[in-house]
Structure formats: C-alpha cells, structure tokens
Amino acid sequence: MAKIRGAVVVDVEGCKGCGVCIPACPSEVLDLAKEVNGKGYNYSFMKNPEACVGCANCAIVCPDGVISVYKVKVA
C-alpha cells in the first residue's frame, strides 16, 4: 500500500508562537521550540517529522500563514 509522507516548513522568523497549529495536527507532529526566533517567540517546528501525512491542517489554521506543506507518495 502506498504510504504518504508529508513535511511542514515553518517560516521561523514569521512564526509568532501562538501554538494554534499544535492541536490542529491529527498526528501530533508539531510542537513549540525551546529556542526563540528574532522576535522572541518560541516558534513551531516538526517534533515528530516521521508522522507527518501532509494534511495541511496546521497550515490552514495558521493565522500568519507561515506554514507551507509538502506531500509525497512513497511506493
């Protein structure tokens, strides 16, 4: 069965660390980083990249539109 692998790219400097993307993710991929970006926000990152299915739920709830989502079918 074809498996779907996804990946999330967060624009680190644009992220405001609100964390709205974290409960939106069905496979618990995202979390807030311990490090901060240039504005002092704990930005969102892929804690568990293996689990991402590229559903784009995180991106469509992101108020600042800083998330891009990629998806590929693995044979």
Residues of this chain that bind another protein (CB under 8 A): 5-7, 9, 14, 16-20, 22-24, 41, 49, 54, 56-57, 59-72, 74-75
- Which CB, 4 or 34, lies closer to another protein? 4
Provide the minimum distance between the beta carbon of 13 and another protein in the complex, in angstroms, as a whole number: 9
Residues in CB range of 40: below 8 A, 6 or more apart: none
Cα 28 off chain centre by: 10
Please give the single-letter amino acid code of residue 61. Answer: V
Residue 54, phi-psi category: left (phi > 0), alpha (psi -120 to 50), beta (remainder): left
- Which CB, 6 or 34, lies closer to another protein? 6
- Which CB, 34 or 74, lies closer to another protein? 74
